[in-house]
Structure 1
Amino acid sequence: MPADPPPPPEPRRVYPDIAISRRLARVTDDLVRIPGTGIGIGLDALVGLVPGIGDVVGTGLSAAIMADAVRQRVPLHVLARMGWNLLVDALLGFVPVVGDAADVLHRANRKNFRLLERCVIENRHVDASARTYGVLAVAMVIGFIAVALALAGLLIWGLVAGLGALLGR
């Protein structure tokens, strides 16, 4: 009896380009280098100077990189790590001045892009046949973004309430 032929090799997945996420990470975290140092400053640090509103804008930009990671079907544990980076970034926004300096050093978008890039290079992705991936990944990303936006909302509310108390209203 002849042996069954081996199954054909699985075709290598072709990933769409992640250049937009690369540019976004660069613009938000490394747009300009501080002379004499290896430290870069991007738009995330600049918009972060506006309490609350800057955090909302920064979270929106960070969400784009996470959405790209979902599109690339990176493993859920990598998405969780990316979400953690996003939450740390949002929490740093609560600390005036010192938080902005720490945010420059934390660089969540650059970290998240590197996680995404590593998964693409190493061809680590969740199989397209995994039906629950999309639901879990989208819920996870929405959850992290919602918490980050809620933190920004709390900061805005606190600032407005504090300003109202100072003005006697």
Structure 2
Amino acid sequence: MHKMNAEHSKAQLKKLAWLLDDSIRIPGTQLRFGLDGLIGLIPGIGDAAGAIISSHILVQAAQMGVPKSLLLKMAFNIGLDAVLGAVPVLGDLTDFVWKANQRNVQLMNDYFDRPGKTELHSRFFVGFAGLVVFGVVVLIGMLGFLLVRWLWLSVQGG
């Protein structure tokens, strides 16, 4: 992507992240949230709609050449925001803390400023997340095996 177009895209994505995560200040406080928090209040579809809108930043980062490991980290931020947002009350409170869109724009900008360091960190993150998922799958498998074994022994009277 041409440098001038890339700078324009980065500026536009920064504005979008601000609009989604920080554009509204609660009067009398320093607490801020954005349209993502308001959209998340719509029962049933709000958090999914917010995730879809947030995915625009992810798509733009991919078009700008951000590596897959960093895109996975950005997708994790969007997913976590959507999952936390689906939890009543907790999800609304996390809109003040977990600003996935601003995190993602910052990750993207960090990559363009320090590509080697940022990509290395994102690879470690993806590797660690993969290990956690693998561990959870193994744990669920072991618990399932133990449950079936216990049920079998109970039925056999042993």
Q: State the 1:52 CA deviation.
A: 2.4
Greater RCO (Cα-Cα under 8 Å, separation 6 or more): 1
Name the aligned partner's letter for residue 42 of structure 1. G
**5 Å matches for 1:116-135?**
116-122=108-114
**Partner residue of 2:11?**
19
Q: Is residue 29 of structure 1 aligned with residue 21 of structure 2?
A: yes
Give me the whole-angstrom Cα distance separating, in 2, the residues matched to 1:116 and 1:87: 17
Q: State the 1:123 CA deviation.
A: 5.4
Between the two proteins, what is the percent identity of the paired residues?
A: 39
**Partner residue of 1:59?**
51
Q: State the 1:119 CA deviation.
A: 1.5
Q: State the 1:38 CA deviation.
A: 3.8
**Partner residue of 2:69?**
77
Give me the whole-angstrom Cα distance separating, in 2, the residues matched to 1:65 and 1:39: 24
CA contact (8 A) 2:51 2:79 kept: no
CA contact (8 A) 1:92 1:103 kept: no
User: Higher helix proportion, which one?
Assistant: 2
Q: State the 1:63 CA deviation.
A: 0.7
**Partner residue of 1:93?**
85
Q: State the 1:59 CA deviation.
A: 1.1
User: What's the CA shift string for 1:123-152, capped at 9, x where partnerless?
Assistant: 5699xxxxxxxxxxxxxxxxxxxxxxxxxx
Q: State the 1:36 CA deviation.
A: 5.2
Tell me: CA distance 1:34–1:118, structure 2 relative to 1, closer, same or farther (3 Å): same
Name the aligned partner's letter for residue 28 of structure 1. L
In structure 1, the residue corresponding to 2:74 is in which secondary structure?
helix
CA contact (8 A) 1:51 1:93 kept: no
Per the normalisation by structure 2, the TM-score is: 0.64
Structure 1: runs of 5 or more not aligned: 1-12, 127-169
Equivalent residues, number: 114
Give me the whole-angstrom Cα distance separating, in 2, the residues matched to 1:93 and 1:27: 17
**Partner residue of 1:41?**
33
Runs of 4+ in 1 over 6 A off after TM superposition: none
Give me the whole-angstrom Cα distance separating, in 2, the residues matched to 1:78 and 1:36: 37
Per the normalisation by structure 1, the TM-score is: 0.60
Give me the whole-angstrom Cα distance separating, in 1, the residues matched to 2:109 and 2:59: 13
